[in-house]
Amino acid sequence: MLSLQNIAIAYNGVPAIHDVSIDVNEGEIVALVGGNGNGKSSTLRAIAGLNSLASGRIVFGGQDITALQAHRRPALGICLVPEGRRLFPKLTVEKNLMLGAFTRRDTVEIAQSKDYVFELFPILKERRKQIAGTLSGGQQQMLAIGRGLMAKPRLLMLDEPSWGIAPKLVTKILDTIQQINASGLTILLVEQNVKRALEIASRGYVLQTGRVVLSGSGEDLLCNSEIQKAYLGI
Ligand SMILES: Nc1ncnc2c1ncn2[C@@H]1O[C@H](COP(=O)(O)OP(=O)(O)O)[C@@H](O)[C@H]1O
Ligand SMILES: [Mg+2]
């Protein structure tokens, strides 16, 4: 579905990503893991069209989208739930969700998507009239994911969904990500929570200082002694 081919990204001439190649197949959860500052968000932003490439190619659904403007990518089914959630804090839960559907026209299907989001996250239904900025961190993350789903994407990219969230809710959110994937949606998941991410991933890539240093199935990576030493404290 998605193929990053030897991509490089630089900020003001300073390289951040070097020669990164990543594939995401239809139906997978692919985890992109690594510590802070290693280029995970830069990679997701490049797929969304928010960072331009210094070199390399991005192919989505067989189409070269390297030069495609960011605002044209949601229509292809590419959706990024960004780091830090970026909700509209003064708008209600429901308004935030509806803004996720801005590229869509079919009101019946939009209503079905909203029902689906409310089924996944019943607390959002309860609080649909509440102002988003007054939700807890975990609820705001649910809303950010729900807003992403309202775009009816083919590829859902999640940038650190467990960031700043109480441990109990982290489990709930990662379970729900698995559930969303089981219903057929392909997911590219960025996490500093390496163990949790690899547990639910079909495959994973480890980024270190802007390079892929390891890749493999989630299971193999969890058993890898370098990963265990560097990220799992084993
Ligand atoms: N907008 C930006 N301007 C300049 N440097 C940036 C910018 N965004 C990220 N970087 C740098 O690029 C590198 C990778 O950052 P990032 O992709 O945010 O990593 P991660 O998501 O893994 O924490 C870091 O060295 C960071 O300081
Ligand atoms: Mg990041």
All structural domains of the chain with their residue ranges: 1-77+155-161+185-234, 81-152
Q: Give distance in angstroms: CA of 94 to centre of ligand 1.
A: 32
pLDDT digits (tens, 9 = 90+) for 175-195: 999 999 999 999 999 998 899
Q: Give distance in angstroms: CA of 75 to centre of ligand 1.
A: 27
pLDDT for residue 2: 98
Q: Given the DSSP bridges, would you call strands 29-33 and 14-24 parallel, antiparallel or unpaired?
A: unpaired
pLDDT digits (tens, 9 = 90+) for 36-48: 999 999 999 999 9
Mean per-residue pLDDT of the chain: 94
Ligand approaching nearest to the C-alpha of 207: 1
pLDDT for residue 176: 95
Q: Which is higher by pLDDT, 103 or 123?
A: 123
Q: What does the alpha-carbon distance between residue 19 and residue 4 come to, in Å, rounded to a whole number?
A: 9
Q: What does the alpha-carbon distance between residue 118 and residue 124 come to, in Å, rounded to a whole number?
A: 6
pLDDT for residue 96: 97
Q: Give distance in angstroms: CA of 39 to centre of ligand 2.
A: 7
Q: Is the confidence at residue 207, as pLDDT, over 70? A: yes
**Protein fold of 1-77+155-161+185-234:** Rossmann fold (3.40.50)
For the chain, percent of residues with pLDDT exceeding 90: 85
**Ligand 1 in contact with 51 (CB < 6 A)?**
no
Residues 6+ apart with CB under 8 A from 79: 148, 151, 153, 155, 156, 157
pLDDT digits (tens, 9 = 90+) for 136-155: 999 999 999 999 999 999 99
Q: Give SS3 for 5.
A: strand
Q: Is the confidence at residue 234, as pLDDT, over 70? A: no
Calculate the alpha carbon distances from 138 to 77, 101, 142, 188 in Å.
25, 22, 6, 20
